[in-house]
A and B are shown apart, each in its own frame.
Chain A
Amino acid sequence: MAILNVNNISCGYGVKKVIKDVSFEVEAGEFVGIIGPNGTGKTTLFRALNKLLPLSKGKIYYKQKDIAHISAYTLAQETATLPQFLQMPFSLPVEEFVAMGRFPHLGRFRGFKKHDIECIERALTLTDTTKLKGRNISELSAGERQCVFLAQAFAQEPKLILLDEPTAHLDITHQVTIMDIISRLNREQGLTVLIVLHDLNLASEYCNKLILLKDGGVYKQGESAQVLNYQNIEAVYNTVVVVEENPMSKKPYVLLVSEQQRSRRC
């Protein structure tokens, strides 16, 4: 059953349409990657999925219900979104930051109960951030901070998680750490994942399904082997690439070709 059903939507900022006639489905338990060049509307799509932007056309269904009729508060009880940029203007201990993820379940009045504390502890354990308890958000490295942001999202107990480039600006250790954490939750607890990635190789390696966007529309969607071939990538990114197969996972692997190499070939 599709947990998320995006039906022919268009939206944008003012008169400028960023997303045009986009349709796709996400099945429960899937790990779906959204890829495409900068400015193709990936972040805008995420905003639309969270009701931050009004749709000029089409409908989005969460569990067969039109999200226009679901309040942001109710939606937040089942879906968590990690935006691309998240900054705290004030310093705050890690565990208090993660505890904010319980807001959609607590509301204004209910106090923290045993289950809430367990959720927070579990989120800290899953992201290996228990050791950061007592530290302030402002003291952490970029990689540690991203893990803590992820912990906050997990504390929400989401069924569906939307991630906007969670691995941007991280070294390969942290990239793999973050992706492994998400992948483990996907496999072990059936968390549905919709993730925007710029790194095509990470996308190929971790996602069961890829959606390739071009100019605000879906160019191609399917398994990584179908989407990540050099014809599609060159058509969308206007960049010469070589696509090989990863000898371990048998998934496509994208190699870049520099101008010097291109001219040598011709």
Chain B
Amino acid sequence: MKNKNNIFPFFILIALFLATIVFSLIFGSSDIEQSRIISALFSKGGDNVTRTILWQIRLPRLILGIFVGAGLAVCGAVFQSMLRNPLASPYTLGISGGSAFGATVGIIFGFAGFLLPIFAFLGGIISVGVIYLIALRKRFSNSALILSGVILSFTFSSLVLLLFSISRSERVHSALLWLIGDLSSAPEATIKSIPAIITCGILILIFYGRDINILTLGDEKALYLGVRVDIIKKIIFIVASFITAACVSAAGIISFVGLIIPHFMRYFFGLNHRRLLVSCALSGAIFLVLCDLLARIIIKPLELPVGVITGFFGGIFFLIFLLKSKDWEII
């Protein structure tokens, strides 16, 4: 208990977080000298082009990366614990499927720009509503939630494929790029509203941290320990789903952040969710911003969608971790 209660690891995370912010502002796909960026960053100096790239392009993208990464990692941890399933992720309960469908409808029918996140968000919320109503009839049991979520995802993805099969190829291509996940395309209104939604959601989840601790023992034992399982699970489900829908509508379906970051953090920070969720927020932000940095510089001056990077490096990183860790046995 002792070694898992100290706050030293948080200092490391915060230091990494700050370093990541600086790095992601300094480096990028355009070849500006680092010294000019630094002078624009820390003083009022620098020419107009540099300042525009810094404050109009890189900063909004950084903000989006921080909040989407934090939101996905926190929701992943919460879903894994609430559903008591190490394979759960923010997308397990069908939110991504609904958002993907919403966004594809938007793109295929030509609503680009600021309407696109709204389409994606609405799609996500519709699937949350469907899952909620199904689960309500099954007393919110974990298996009902997981099964209905997975099945709804499949249903929506076949609808997406249906739309693909009847649409023009350039629109299919831009819809595909959205589905991979990308931090560059969010409109300004989204970047202004996302941080507030995600921050509020994460704070609510941290508020219920102790309840989530007890929920890992299973619904029945949690009730015996005095957790109001029926109400708490609904609140957690709705809040985490809204965060996920917000993340997806801003940046597409970025894979793996919500699956692997919680496992890493559980290994280092334990199962106390007050600590776990804070560490997930920080490290999810770090991971996504770093992946985005890679996506911007790996084939510069072209850029990759960040979802490719998170999936590839996240997967390899995670497999190494899986092989190295001793504590991995699951009951």
Contacts and interface: CB of A to CB of B under 8 A. Distances in A.
Interface string A200-212: 0000000000000
Contacts of A80: 224
Contact of A108 (B81, B210, B216): B210
Contacts of B209: 108
Interface in B58-88: 81, 84-86
Contacts of B329: 91, 138-139
A108 B226 contact: no
A100 B209 CA distance: 12
A86 B223 contact: no
Given A96-B272, A100-B213, A90 B226 contact: no
A76 B223 CA distance: 8
Interface in A93-148: 93, 95-96, 99-101, 103-104, 106-108, 136-139
B331 A88 contact: yes
Interface stretch (A67-75, A179-187, A226-234): A67-75
B216 A88 contact: yes
B130 interface: no
Contacts of B331: 87-89, 91, 137-138
Interface residues of A, number: 37
B327 A91 contact: yes
B318 interface: no
A106 B329 CA distance: 30
Contacts, number: 92
Contact of B226 (A92, A104, A136): A104
A89 B86 contact: yes
B324 to A, nearest CB: 16
A101 B213 CA distance: 11
Interface in A134-175: 136-139, 156
A81 interface: yes
Interface residues of B, number: 33
Contact of A90 (B211, B214, B224, B271): B271
A154 to B, nearest CB: 13
B217 A100 contact: yes
A83 interface: yes
A103 B1 contact: no
A103 B223 contact: no
B16 interface: no
Interface in B192-239: 207-211, 213-214, 216-218, 220-221, 223-228
Nearest to A108: B210
B187 interface: no
Contact of B223 (A72, A88, A93, A99): A72
A108 B86 contact: no
Nearest to B328: A91
A80 to B, nearest CB: 7
A51 B223 CA distance: 9
Contact of B211 (A83, A91, A108): A108
A147 to B, nearest CB: 16
A72 B216 contact: no
B136 to A, nearest CB: 16
Contact of B1 (A73, A74, A90, A95): A95
Given A89-B86, A92-B270, A103-B214, A52 B223 contact: yes
A52 B226 contact: no
Contacts of B270: 92-93, 96
A52 B219 CA distance: 10
A99 B210 CA distance: 11
A210 B207 CA distance: 44
Contacts of A139: 329
23 contacts: A72-B228, A76-B225, A77-B226, A83-B224, A87-B331, A88-B217, A89-B86, A89-B216, A89-B330, A90-B81, A90-B216, A90-B271, A90-B330, A91-B329, A91-B330, A92-B271, A95-B1, A103-B214, A104-B226, A108-B210, A108-B211, A137-B331, A138-B331
Closest CB pairs A-B (n = 6): A76-B226, A73-B226, A81-B224, A104-B226, A89-B84, A138-B331
